[in-house]
Amino acid sequence: MSILVVAEHDNETLASATYNAVAAASQLSGDIEILVAGSGTSGVAEAAAKIPGVAKVLNADSAEYANDIAENTAPLLVQLAPNYSHVLAPATTFGKNVMPRASALLDVQQISEITAIESDDTFVRPIYAGNAMATVQSTDSVKMITVRMTAFEAVAEDGGSASVEAIAGTGDAGLASFVSQEVSKSDRPELTTARIVISGGRGMKSGENFPLIESVADKLNAAVGASRAAVDAGYVSNDFQVGQTGKVVAPDLYIAVGISGAIQHLAGMKDSKVIVAINNDEEAPIFQVADYGLVADLFDAIPALDAELG
């Protein structure tokens, strides 16, 4: 049987998390098909068809899917799922919203946020904010799965030529209507895919001090993140949040500035390849996961780092 990957996109561009979900699917046995559900999605479907190893793209281009309303998309998944052995979606707010709704309607116990695949029915997933790893076996006939994107290296974007098949919409469920979306605009790389991330915590003292780390970020072509403490204090908006309840990142280099290292934050970044911690409290737990620690006042250290990078 085939595997269905539910694509995440904004109706114009295929989200990077989709490539990670396809990478997970490629470790299972079966052909990979991709579902693009949205409105005005021919470009997204074409991008999905170019992914090497994809057998077919299903393009459900219909108004009710324009804003990822779970009540509208779940019935489509319910209709398609019985034809597949597995349905995978990225464990982003998109996948976390729609997949459990579809799973319940299918009477399937979803497996959330897998980080490794042991076999076609056995998966590894973090529990307790990553403080333990559970190996679990699904007994359901269709495996409904969300994929932690940082655990699966994205597949190539080009080289394939899958066919695109248009499929009909399932209609508007009439339960929820879209009002608006506030999207943060930035010229910097996206937090979840950046090679380098520099994050500020409560030690930044104010949102007005974030330009200090933004300047360093620009020199390193890095994304800017924040701890929950910094977000809760109103220094930056919630889409900057790295942690168990925010975004999970695993860049080549993660620089934590003025972040103490609460368990919830560590859960979102401890799989980074190299971790740097800059904090004036040498007892801060962040130093326990840091490869390089600098005990210093960030208001001295960050301008110095900025200058050192030229």
Residues 244-273 that bind another protein (CB under 8 A): 244-245, 247, 252-253, 263, 270, 273
Size of the site for another protein (CB under 8 A): 88
The alpha carbon of residue 161 and the mean position of all alpha carbons in its chain are separated, in whole angstroms, by: 26
Query: Could you please report the per-residue DSSP string of 184-230?
Result: ---SSPPTTT-SEEEEE-GGG-SGGGHHHHHHHHHHHT-EEEE-HHH
Q: Is residue 186 classed exposed, middle or buried when 0-12, 13-18 and 19+ CB atoms within 10 A define those classes? A: middle
Distances (CA, A) of 198 to 129, 192, 203, 217: 21, 12, 14, 6
Q: Which DSSP letter does residue 153 get? A: P
- Interacting residue with another protein among 19, 84, 94, 152 (CB under 8 A): 94
Compute the distance between CA of residue 222 and CA of residue 190 in angstroms, rounded to an integer: 9
C-beta of residue 71 within 8 angstroms of C-beta of residue 176:
yes
In angstroms, what is the minimal distance from the CB of 265 to another protein? 13
In angstroms, what is the minimal distance from the CB of 117 to another protein? 13
User: Is the Cβ of residue 105 or residue 167 nearer to another protein in the bound state?
Assistant: 105
Q: Which of residues 186-205 bind another protein (CB under 8 A)?
A: 192, 196
- Interacting residue with another protein among 181, 187, 208, 283 (CB under 8 A): 181
Which residues touch 139 (CB under 8 Å, ≥6 apart)?
A: 121
User: Is the Cβ of residue 56 or residue 101 nearer to another protein in the bound state?
Assistant: 101
Q: Does 63 bind another protein (CB under 8 A)?
A: no
Query: Which range binds another protein by CB under 8 A, 39-47, 79-87, 161-169, 177-185?
Result: 177-185
The token pair at 249 is 């990142």
In angstroms, what is the minimal distance from the CB of 33 to another protein? 23
Compute the distance between CA of residue 287 and CA of residue 92 in angstroms, rounded to an integer: 28
In angstroms, what is the minimal distance from the CB of 278 to another protein? 8
User: Is the Cβ of residue 158 or residue 307 nearer to another protein in the bound state?
Assistant: 307
Query: Which range binds another protein by CB under 8 A, 19-27, 33-41, 44-52, 295-303?
Result: 295-303
Placement of tokens 């995440």 in the chain = 8
Query: Which range binds another protein by CB under 8 A, 30-38, 52-60, 105-113, 151-159?
Result: 105-113
- Interacting residue with another protein among 1, 66, 164, 294 (CB under 8 A): 294
